[in-house]
């Protein structure tokens, strides 16, 4: 093992670590592919997001995970008359391009698989219905929204209410919030970054 570790350091190789020897990191940070052990990094981000955020749909979870350089893809279909449904995770660069080889959720654990995510979406929907959480969210966004605010000011105002804002921007630099990605079906436009 000492020779293996020495070769890994000498040639800047990814360390060889079996399965779940490393525990999930508590702090949530972006996946860094060159750092190595991508499966553990992705696992840590996904589990932390599922613990700390409420996403009621695949689109919302995908948007959140992309913020931490993690791609997610639902795979459903039929083979030989048998239906299947699964999740594939992968690493991304800061500009949104996939890097490395994506892997099935089963390589991480059942708690991040297709069925577990369907249950998570339902629990998130129920939690948002409780105590008018969705109404409070809508009011906070409405109050923070102003044509005079920059995106940073908008983000800061929401952060004061313990709400993280993630902006989706298309290739022509327009912000959008498709209904499948957001509870707030409105059009946001800011001329200043």
Which tens digit of pLDDT belongs to each residue from 110-151? 999 999 999 999 999 998 888 788 888 888 888 888 777 788
Rounded Cα distance between 174 and 133, Å, is 28
Per residue in 51-106, pLDDT tens?
988 888 999 999 999 999 999 999 999 989 999 999 999 999 988 889 999 999 99
In this predicted structure, which of 138-142, 161-165, 186-190 has the lowest mean pLDDT?
186-190
User: Considering the domain boundaries, does residue 189 fall inside one?
Assistant: no
DSSP state for residue 110 in the 8-state scheme? G
Picking from 91, 113, 129, the residue at the C-terminal end of a domain is 129
User: Considering the domain boundaries, does residue 25 fall inside one?
Assistant: yes
SS3 83: strand
Considering the domain architecture, whether residues 76 and 16 belong to the same structural domain is answered as yes
Picking from 112, 129, 146, the residue at the C-terminal end of a domain is 129
Q: Which of 93, 87, 96, 91 is nearest to 44 (CA)?
A: 91
Considering the domain architecture, whether residues 91 and 150 belong to the same structural domain is answered as no
Considering the domain architecture, whether residues 143 and 75 belong to the same structural domain is answered as no
Q: How many domains does the chain have?
A: 2
Angle between helices 38-52 and 58-67 (to 10 degrees): 120
Rounded Cα distance between 179 and 163, Å, is 19
Helix, strand counts (H, E) of the chain: 6, 5
């Amino acid at each position: 093992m000492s020779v293996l570790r020495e070769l890994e350091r000498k040639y800047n190789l990814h360390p060889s670590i079996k399965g779940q020897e490393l525990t999930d990191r508590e702090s949530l940070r972006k996946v860094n592919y060159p750092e190595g052990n991508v499966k553990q990094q992705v696992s840590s981000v996904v589990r932390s997001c599922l613990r700390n955020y409420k996403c009621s749909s695949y689109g919302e979870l995908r948007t959140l995970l992309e913020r931490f350089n993690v791609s997610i893809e639902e795979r459903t279909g039929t083979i030989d008359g048998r239906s299947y449904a699964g999740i594939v995770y992968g690493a991304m660069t800061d500009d949104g391009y996939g890097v490395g080889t994506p892997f099935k959720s089963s390589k991480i654990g059942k708690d991040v698989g297709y069925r577990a995510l369907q249950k998570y979406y339902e629990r998130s929907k129920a939690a948002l219905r409780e105590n008018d959480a969705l109404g409070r969210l809508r009011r906070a966004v409405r109050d923070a929204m102003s044509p005079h605010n920059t995106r940073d000011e908008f983000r800061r105002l929401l952060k004061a209410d313990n709400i993280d804002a993630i902006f989706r921007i298309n290739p022509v630099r327009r912000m959008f919030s498709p209904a499948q990605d957001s509870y707030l079906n409105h059009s946001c436009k800011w001329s200043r970054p």
